[in-house]
A and B are shown apart, each in its own frame.
Chain A
Amino acid sequence: MSLSLYITRLKCTIRNKENMFWSYAFPIILASCFFFAFNNLWDENSFETIKIGYVSDRTDNDPLLIAIEEAEMSKDVPLFSVTKYKQAEAEKSLKDKEIEAYIVGGQEPVLYIKENGINETIIKSFLDNYRQMAATVEDIVQKNPEALNQGLLEDIMNFKTYVYEEKEGNKPDYILVYFYALFAYTCIFGGAWGLNEVINIQADMSLRGARLNASPVNKMKLLLCNMFAAFTAHSGSILLLFFYMYYILGIHFGDNLGAILLTCIVGALTGLTQGVFIGVIFKFKASVKETVLITVTMLQSFLAGFMFADIKYIIAEKIPFFSYINPVNLVADALYSLYYYDTYDRYMLNIVILLVIAVVLSALSYLRLRRKTYASI
C-alpha cells in the first residue's frame, strides 16, 4: 500500500515539469555559467602580471629596464609586463587604463600612477628596493673598498628568494565559494518540493488536499510517503549536479566521497523541511508561499556568497551567528570544510546544526499539521 502511494506520488512529482526544470536543469546551467565565467580566474598568470609602461631617456642597456624585465613573482612568471613609450604616449595609456603605472627612468626614477592599490605598492617597493640596492653597494664599498673585487656586484645581481610554500593540503579557494554556494542553494531550494507536498495535503490549500482529506488513508502515512517521493526526486537532482560538477566540470570537492554524499542527503533533508515549514506555518495563498520560499532561499544563498563571495566572509566576521543558522551557508561550509581542513570537527559541526534545524522545523510543522480538521473551507 505504502509502496504504491510512494510510486504514484513519485510519478506525479516527476511530471511536474516546472519543478523538474528548476531543480534539475537550472543548477546545471548555472554551474556551466560559473564555470565559463570564472575559468580564467583560476589561471593565476592571466591576471597577476602587472602591466606597466617605461619611458627611457636612453636607447640601450638601461639597467633599471633590464631589472624590471627580469623580475619574477614566482619561477618563470614575470612580475611586470613592460612596454616602452614616449612620455606622452605613456600618459595616454595610463589614462586609458591600458597600463597600471609608468616609470620614467634615469638617475632618480619617477613613478606615475593613477590610484592606490596593491599593484602600485608592488611597483613602488620594487623601485625603492632598486635604489636602495644601489645605496647598499655604495655603502659597502665605503666600508670595505675591496668588496668590488671580491664579487659584490655578482652577489647583488644574484637575487635570492627566501620564502617557500609547502604544497601540501588544499588551499583556500575563492571561486569554490560560488560553486559550493550553488550546490547548497540546490539542496535548500528543494524546499519547493516540500512546499508542494504540504500544499497538496492541506485541505484549505488545494483541491487535491480537500479530496485527500475526505479519503480514508491516514494523513501522516500519506504525507510520509509523499515526502519520501519528493526526497527521492530532490536527491536525484543533487546527485546529478554533483556528478556534473565533479566529473564534467572538474570542481574540487575533497576526497571523502562518503562525507560528500552525507552532506547531500542532510542538505536535501533540511531543504525539504524548510519548504514544509513555510508551507505549514503561514496562512497565505499557495502562490504567495512560493514567493516567500524563493525569497527566503535566495536571501540565504546571498548571505552564503552565492552572488558575491565576499558576503560569506563578511557575515562570518561580523555576525557569525547568522552563518550558523543559515542552512545554505551550513551546507556550503560543510563542503568547504571537507575540501580544506584535514580534520572533521568543523564539518561535523555543520552537519549536526543542519540536522538540528531539520528536526526542529519538522517538529514544529508536525505540531501544526496533526489532527487538523476543517469544519468548512
Chain B
Amino acid sequence: MQVFRTYFKLLKSQLLSIIIYAVVFLTITIAISVAIIGSDEGSFQIKEVPIAVMNRDRENAFIQGMLEYLDQYVDYYDIEDSEEARKDALFFRRVLYIMIIPEGFTQDFLAGKEVKIQKETVPDVAEVVSVDNAIDNYLNKASVYLKYVPDANAEDINEYILDQLSKDTEVTFVTTQSKKDINANEFNRNYYNYLAYVLLAVLITGVSSVMVSFHNVDIRRRQNASPLSVRSMNLQLIFANFMFVIVYLAVFLVAGYIVNPFRYFNRHLLLYVLNAVVFTITALSISYLVGITVKNKNAVSALSTVLSLSLSFLSGVFVDQQFLGKAVQKAASFMPTYWYVRANNEINAVSNLNLKNLSNVFLYYAIELGFAVVIFAIAMVVSKRKQQIA
C-alpha cells in the first residue's frame, strides 16, 4: 500500500487550504442561512414595511387618519428631513420607503384638486408596491367619499374608511408539512446548494494536486520500472481518492446536520444526501481530469478557483436559478452543477414524496452521473495518451 500512503502524505500539503475552505464555508453558510430563514407561525401576519414620512404639510386630522390607516401595513421610523439623511436611510435600508407629503396637500386634496405624494424608495423590492397600494387605496376611497358625500369633513372620512377595516379577507394556511419540516428543508436546500461550490473547490484542490504529482512524467517512468504493477498502482490510487472524498463528504454531511438550527431528520434530507453523493462522484471525475491534464500545482489552484466559481455562479448555486437569464440557463444546462442545484430545488419543492413526484429528481441524479461517466471516459483517453508518452 505504498501508493495509498504516499497519496495521503501528498494530500497533507494541501490540508491547510482544505481546512480553511471547510471552516470558511461553514461559517458563511450558517450566517447566511440563519439570516434568510424567518420563523413565522402558522397564522397570517402582515409584513410591515419600514418607512419614513416627511410631512411638509401642517399636522392635521386628515393626514393623521391616513397615517393611522397605513399603520397596519408599515412601521414608522423617524428620519431627519435632509437629502443626506434620506439617502443614508435608504442606502442602509433602515427604511425602504420615504413618503414626502408636499405643502398644501390636505387643502388641495379636500378641494378636489390633483395632488401627488412623492416617494423615495429602495429599487426592486416588493415592499414598495405594498406601500404604494396602501396609500392609493386610502386616497382613492377618500376622494370618492369627498365627491359623493360633500358634507363630510376630514374626520368623518377617516372614520368611514377605518370603519371598513373589519371587512377583511379570510386567510387559510395550506401546509401538509410542519413548519419545522419546511424550515429544515429550506436550510438544507441552501446548505446543499452551497456545498456544490465547496466540494468542487476542495476536490479539485486536493485530488488534482496529488494526481499532478503522480502523473509527473519522471515519476511515471520510475513507476513503470518498479516491480509494482500498473494495475495495483491504479487501484490504490482509486481507492485513496475514494477514501479522501468519502471522508470529506461525510464531514460535511455530519456538519450539515449539526449546524442546521432545526436539526431534523426527514426523508428530504436523505434525498439531499443522495444528491450530494452523486454530485461528489461527478466532482471527483472533474478533479481527476484536471489532475491528469494539468502540469503544475500552481495551475491547479488557479483552475480550482476558476472552475468552482464559474460553475457555481452560472448554475445558480449562489443566486437562485429562477433569477438567471434564459441564455445563462441554457448554457448552464451543459454543466453538472446546474442539475445538482436543480435536483436540490426540486427536492425542496416536492412536499409529498412518492415515486411519481420524485421522477424528476431521479432524472437529475442520472444526468449528473452521466456527466461523471463522460468525464471519466475523457480522462481515460487522456491517461492512455500519457502512458504512451511515458
Contact = CB atoms under 8 A, between A and B. Distances in A.
Interface in A1-37: 17-18, 21-22, 26, 29-30, 33-34, 36-37
A95 B357 CA distance: 12
Given A116-B45, A120-B47, A136-B141, A44 B124 contact: yes
B371 to A, nearest CB: 20
Contact of A118 (B127, B170, B322): B127
A108 B170 contact: yes
B324 A113 contact: no
B133 interface: yes
A272 B74 CA distance: 47
A46 B144 contact: no
Contact of B169 (A38, A79, A111): A111
A308 interface: yes
Contact of A115 (B35, B40, B313): B40
Contacts of B264: none
8 contacts: A37-B323, A40-B324, A40-B325, A95-B176, A96-B350, A133-B141, A147-B148, A343-B84
B140 A160 contact: yes
Nearest to A71: B133
Interface in A173-221: 173-174
A252 interface: no
B38 interface: yes
A176 to B, nearest CB: 11
A114 B173 contact: yes
Interface centre among A114, A140, A162, A166 (most CB of B within 10 A): A162
Interface in B115-141: 115-127, 129-130, 132-137, 139-141
Contacts of B298: 17-18
Given A18-B298, A172-B91, A302-B28, A110 B47 contact: no
B83 interface: yes
A232 interface: no
A113 B119 contact: no
A47 B169 contact: no
Contacts of A108: 169-170
A30 B302 CA distance: 12
Contact of B167 (A79, A128, A172, A317): A128
Interface of A: 17-18, 21-22, 26, 29-30, 33-34, 36-42, 44, 46-48, 50, 73, 79, 91, 94-97, 108-122, 124-129, 131-133, 135-136, 139-140, 143-144, 147, 150, 152, 155-156, 159-166, 171-174, 291, 295, 298, 302, 307-308, 310-311, 313-314, 316-317, 336, 340-343, 345
Interface string B82-117: 011001001111100001000000000000000111
Interface centre among A97, A121, A291 (most CB of B within 10 A): A121
Given A114-B173, A144-B149, A161 B132 contact: yes
B143 interface: yes
A169 B224 CA distance: 70
A126 B316 CA distance: 33
Given A17-B298, A95-B176, A308-B28, A124 B169 contact: yes
A37 B313 contact: yes
B372 to A, nearest CB: 24
Interface residues of B, number: 90
Please list the 5 inter-chain residue pairs (A to B) with the smallest Cβ-Cβ separation, ordered nearest first: A33-B313, A127-B169, A147-B148, A116-B40, A132-B164
Given A109-B169, A163-B135, A174-B124, A96 B349 contact: yes
Contacts of A33: 309-310, 313-314
Contacts of A317: 92, 94
Nearest to A91: B174
Given A47-B322, A147-B148, 20 more contacts: A26-B305, A37-B318, A41-B124, A73-B132, A118-B47, A118-B130, A121-B73, A124-B169, A125-B133, A126-B133, A129-B137, A135-B167, A160-B140, A163-B135, A171-B121, A171-B123, A172-B87, A172-B91, A317-B92, A341-B87
Contacts of B1: none
Interface in B156-174: 160-161, 164-165, 167-174
A113 B118 contact: no
Given A44-B123, A125-B133, A162-B139, A143 B149 contact: yes
Contacts of A162: 115-117, 135-136, 139-140
B35 to A, nearest CB: 6
Interface in B37-52: 38, 40, 44-47, 49
A97 B182 CA distance: 12
Given A113-B171, A119-B126, A29 B306 contact: yes
A122 B124 CA distance: 15
A37 B332 CA distance: 11
B153 to A, nearest CB: 14
A109 to B, nearest CB: 6
A300 to B, nearest CB: 13
